[in-house]
Amino acid sequence: MSSTTRDESSIAAPNLADYGRARVDFDWSSAAERLEGLGDGHLNIAHEAVDRHARNDRADHVAIRWLPKRGESVDLTYGDLQQRTSQFADALTALCGRGARVATLAGRVPELYVAALGTLKAGGVYSPLFSAFGPEPIRQRVDLGEIEVLVTTPVLYRRKVAPIRAELASLKHVVLIGGDASDGEGDPVGGVIGWDDFVATGSPDFPAVRTAADELALLHFTSGTTGTPKGAMHVHGAVVAHMVTAEFALDLHPDDVFWCTADPGWVTGTSYGIIAPLVHGVTCIIDEGDFDADRWYGTIAEQRVTVWYTAPTAIRMMMRVGLDPVRSHDLSSLRVIASVGEPLNPEAVVWGQEAFGQAILDNWWQTETGGIMIANYRAVDVKPGSMGRPIPGVDITLLARTAEGEPALDDDGNPVEITTADEVGELAIRAGWPSMFIGYLGMDERYAKAFIGPWYRSGDLARRDADGYYWFVGRSDDVIKSAGHLIGPFEVESTLIEHPAVSEAGVIGLPDPTAGEIVKAYVSLAPGYEPDEDLQRDIMAFARKKLGPAVAPRLIDLVDQLPKTRSGKIMRRLLKARELGLPEGDTSTLEGAGQ
C-alpha cells in the first residue's frame, strides 16, 4: 500500500519559520561563528564536514550510504570518513606537497567523495570532472586548471586519458580506483598508481591543514558560448554559505537522510552532494545507478529519505512515467523535495503536490554563486513557477537594461535598479556572500565584466512580483524581442508542456525582417503520441489560445529529443546555432557528449 501522508507530529520544525524576521536578523559573521574553525580565522571545509563530527558523538553516525548498481549497500560513518580522508590527504601531501590541484573523473563511488574531501583536508584545490566527458573537454580542463593529480577508474583512464596523456603537461600522477600500476603500463609519462596502494601510504590521523578562509579550495568549470570553459574559483570560507543555504532552503536537520541526485562531476554534486549535507552531519545517500523511476522510489522508501534534492529533467521524466509507480511505494518519510538545474515549470510543482502530497521547492543559483541564492522554503507559501525569494543574507536586485541589452546607468554612472513590480531586468546579487567566486582562472578581464558597481551580474533576466517573489524569464542572450515584445522562452516552454502531447519544449528566437525575431519551438512528444501535421497544428493552436498570437510560437518542430546538459538545462544556444548554421561553441556539457 502506498503512502505519502506524513505524521506531522513527528516532523522537525522548519529551520526557517519566519522568513521576514530572518531577513532582518541574519548576518554572515554570526553564521560563521557556528562552525568550529581552526583558530585565528583559519577554516577548512573538510574539517567542518568530517573531522569535527568524528571527534564527537557523531563518529559512529552514517555519513555516506553507498548503493552500488548491484549488490549490498556500503556504509561509511563519520569516523570512517575521517580516517580515509586523512589517509588520502597524507598520501597527497607526501606526493605533491600543500596546494596540489586534484581532479576526479569517476561516477558515484565512495572513493570520489574521499578524494574530494581528502584534497581539501590537505590544503589542495579540488576540481570535479564529469565522467561522461570525452578526451578533448578533459584535456581542456586539466590544462586550464593545471591539474597535477587525476583520480579516475581504469576504464575511464584507458578510454579517455591514456590517448592524450602525453599532451597533459601538468598531470604528474593518476590514481586508479579499483586498479593498480599495471593498468598504466605503456603510459608515456608514468606516475600511475592503484587507489589501494596510494592511500595505504597515508596516516589515518592526518589533521586538516589550517587553511585561511580566503584560500582557494574549489575549481568548477562552467561552459559558455565560446569553446573555452571558464574556471570559477571558490574558497574554504564558502562552507559558511553551504551550511546556511542547506539549513534554510533544504531544511536540513542532523538526523536527516539526504539524497542529492546530482552527478558529482558538477557543482551541485559538490556543494550539495558532498559539502553541505556533511557539514550538517546527516546521512547522505549515494546511488551509483542512473535514473530509473522504480529504483528511485524504492530507494526513498527503503532508505527512508527525508530530504530529496533533484533536477527538473528527472521530475519531468517521473511525470512521464505517471503516478502508478509513486503509489506503489511508501514515500511518507519525505519532508522536503527540492529542485535545481533550470527553472521548474509550474505544472511540475502542481504535479509534486498530487504525487507526493507536497510542493516541489524550486531554487536558483549558479556555478559562480557557489550556493543557493533564491529559494522556496518549507514554511513559506509557494507560487508555482517562481524561483522564490532571496536567502537571508543575500541581497538581490534587478538592473534595468538599455535597448542594446547593456546595463542602464543614471547621471552619476551608477546602475539603475528596478523598483516596480513585474518589470523585467537582469538579476544581480550584491557582492560579498561567502561562496561568491573570487575569479575566473586566468580570465581577469572576463571576471571584471561580471560586476557593475557593487553588483554581480548573473546574466539571467527575471521579474519580481509585488510580494517579492522572483520569476525567471531567460538568459539575457535567450530572450526574444519580437515586434516590440520581450518574450521569455521559459514562459512559452512552460505553456507548451501543459499540452498533454508535449513532454519537453525548447524555444528560441529566429531573425525576421518585419518583427525582428519570431518565436520557434522544438517539442519532444510524450509516450503514445506520434508526430504529424495535425498534432503540430493542435499544439500551435493551444499555445496561441493560452499565450496570445504575439507570444505564441510561429513555428514548431517535433523532435525526438532536445539537447540538454547533464544537469537538465535545455541548451537553447545549441538549438539556435544548429538552426542558423552558427558555431556551436563548447558542447562538452551536452548530455551524452563523449560517451
Q: Which residue has the cell 501522508?
A: 5
- pLDDT higher than threshold 60 for residue 228: yes
Label residue 593 by pLDDT band (50, 70, 90): low
Task: Report helix, strand or coil for 420.
Answer: coil
We report the CATH number of the domain holding residue 533 as 3.30.300.30
**Higher per-residue confidence, 484 vs 228:** 228
- pLDDT higher than threshold 80 for residue 10: no
Task: Report helix, strand or coil for 41.
Answer: coil
We report the CATH number of the domain holding residue 259 as 3.40.50.12780
Mean pLDDT (whole number) for 158-183: 94
Q: Over 479-527, what HEC string results?
A: CEEECCEEECHHHHHHHHCCCCCEEEEEEEEEEECCCEEEEEEEEEECC
Mean pLDDT (whole number) for 1-28: 81
Q: Which residue has the cell 518589470?
A: 423
Boundary-marking domain end, from 475, 499, 534: 475
Of 117-126, 415-424, 467-476, where does mean pLDDT reach its minimum?
467-476
**CA distances (Å), origin 203, targets 83, 86, 116, 576:** 8, 6, 17, 53
Label residue 586 by pLDDT band (50, 70, 90): low
Are residues 137 and 187 located together in one domain of the fold?
Answer: yes
Are residues 148 and 6 located together in one domain of the fold?
Answer: no
Are residues 526 and 459 located together in one domain of the fold?
Answer: no
Where on the phi/psi map is residue 92: left (φ > 0), alpha (ψ -120 to 50), or beta? Answer: alpha
What is the spatial distance between Cα 324 and Cα 58, in angstroms, rounded to a whole number?
A: 38
**Percentage of the residues of the chain whose pLDDT score is greater than 90:** 76
Label residue 238 by pLDDT band (50, 70, 90): very high
> One-letter amino acid identity for 140?
Q
Are residues 112 and 203 located together in one domain of the fold?
Answer: yes
Task: Give domain status of residue 225, yes or no.
Answer: no
Buried b (16+ CB within 10 A) or exposed e, 336-351: bbbbbbbbbbbbbbeb
Residue 415, all three cell numbers: 546602475
Judge contact between 554 and 537, C-beta under 8 A.
Answer: no
Task: Give domain status of residue 593, yes or no.
Answer: no
Supply the pLDDT for residue 343. 84
What is the spatial distance between Cα 579 and Cα 573, in angstroms, rounded to a whole number?
A: 10
Mean pLDDT (whole number) for 141-163: 96
The answer for residues whose C-beta is within 8 angstroms of residue 72's C-beta and 6 or more apart is none
Q: Rounded to 5 degrees, what are φ and ψ at 77?
A: -80, 170
Are residues 470 and 494 located together in one domain of the fold?
Answer: no
Burial class (CB in 10 A: 0-12, 13-18, 19+), 164: middle
The answer for residues whose C-beta is within 8 angstroms of residue 163's C-beta and 6 or more apart is 135
- pLDDT higher than threshold 80 for residue 306: yes
Are residues 195 and 149 located together in one domain of the fold?
Answer: yes
Are residues 321 and 403 located together in one domain of the fold?
Answer: no
Are residues 387 and 402 located together in one domain of the fold?
Answer: no
- pLDDT higher than threshold 50 for residue 354: yes
Alpha-helical regions (H) of 55-126 = 78-96, 110-121
Label residue 8 by pLDDT band (50, 70, 90): low
Q: In the chain, how many H helices and how many E strands? A: 20, 27
Strand 125-129 relative to strand 361-364, pairing:
unpaired
Task: Give domain status of residue 591, yes or no.
Answer: no
Host H or E run for residue 337: strand 336-339
- Count of residues making up the chain: 595
Are residues 208 and 287 located together in one domain of the fold?
Answer: no
Task: Give domain status of residue 437, yes or no.
Answer: no
Task: Give domain status of residue 305, yes or no.
Answer: yes
Judge contact between 401 and 497, C-beta under 8 A.
Answer: no
Task: Give domain status of residue 143, yes or no.
Answer: yes
Buried b (16+ CB within 10 A) or exposed e, 19-45: beebbeebebeebbeebebbeeebbbb
- pLDDT higher than threshold 60 for residue 595: no
Are residues 509 and 377 located together in one domain of the fold?
Answer: no
Beta strands in 54-207 (DSSP E): 62-67, 74-77, 101-105, 125-129, 149-152, 173-176, 192-194
What is the spatial distance between Cα 54 and Cα 46, in angstroms, rounded to a whole number?
A: 11
Task: Give domain status of residue 144, yes or no.
Answer: yes
Supply the pLDDT for residue 408. 95
What are the pLDDT digits (tens) for 70-81? 999 999 999 999
Task: Report helix, strand or coil for 413.
Answer: coil
Smallest CA-to-CA distance from 286 within 263, 256, 315, 316 is with 263
Where on the phi/psi map is residue 516: left (φ > 0), alpha (ψ -120 to 50), or beta? Answer: left
What is the spatial distance between Cα 255 and Cα 283, in angstroms, rounded to a whole number?
A: 7
Q: Mean pLDDT: which of 349-358, 398-407, 569-578 is highest?
A: 349-358
What are the pLDDT digits (tens) for 506-535? 999 998 887 778 999 999 999 999 999 999
- pLDDT higher than threshold 60 for residue 560: yes
- pLDDT higher than threshold 60 for residue 6: no
**CA distances (Å), origin 199, targets 83, 119, 206:** 10, 12, 12
**Percentage of the residues of the chain whose pLDDT score is greater than 70:** 95
- pLDDT higher than threshold 90 for residue 241: yes
Task: Specify the number of domains making up the chain.
Answer: 4
Supply the pLDDT for residue 185. 83
Label residue 548 by pLDDT band (50, 70, 90): confident
- pLDDT higher than threshold 90 for residue 583: no
Mean pLDDT (whole number) for 113-126: 98
Of 14-28, 134-148, 471-485, where does mean pLDDT reach its minimum?
471-485
Mean pLDDT (whole number) for 204-227: 88
- pLDDT higher than threshold 50 for residue 93: yes
- pLDDT higher than threshold 70 for residue 3: no
Residue 255, all three cell numbers: 538526523
Judge contact between 566 and 266, C-beta under 8 A.
Answer: yes
Smallest CA-to-CA distance from 241 within 386, 93, 435, 47 is with 435
Mean pLDDT (whole number) for 298-326: 93
Supply the pLDDT for residue 486. 67
- pLDDT higher than threshold 90 for residue 226: no
Q: Over 244-306, what HEC string results?
A: HHHHHCCCCCCCCEEEECCCCCCHHHHHHHHHHHHHCCCEEEEECCCCCHHHHHHHHHHHCCC
Average confidence score pLDDT of the chain = 92
Label residue 591 by pLDDT band (50, 70, 90): low
Cα torsion 165, 166, 167, 170 to 10°: value is 80
We report the CATH number of the domain holding residue 453 as 2.30.38.10
We report the CATH number of the domain holding residue 119 as 3.40.50.980
Are residues 192 and 324 located together in one domain of the fold?
Answer: no
Supply the pLDDT for residue 1. 39
Task: Give domain status of residue 222, yes or no.
Answer: no
Distance from CA of residue 471 to its chain's centroid? Answer: 19
**Residue-number span of the structural domain to which 184 is assigned:** 43-50+71-212
Mean pLDDT (whole number) for 394-421: 93
Are residues 300 and 331 located together in one domain of the fold?
Answer: yes
Boundary-marking domain end, from 212, 230, 255: 212
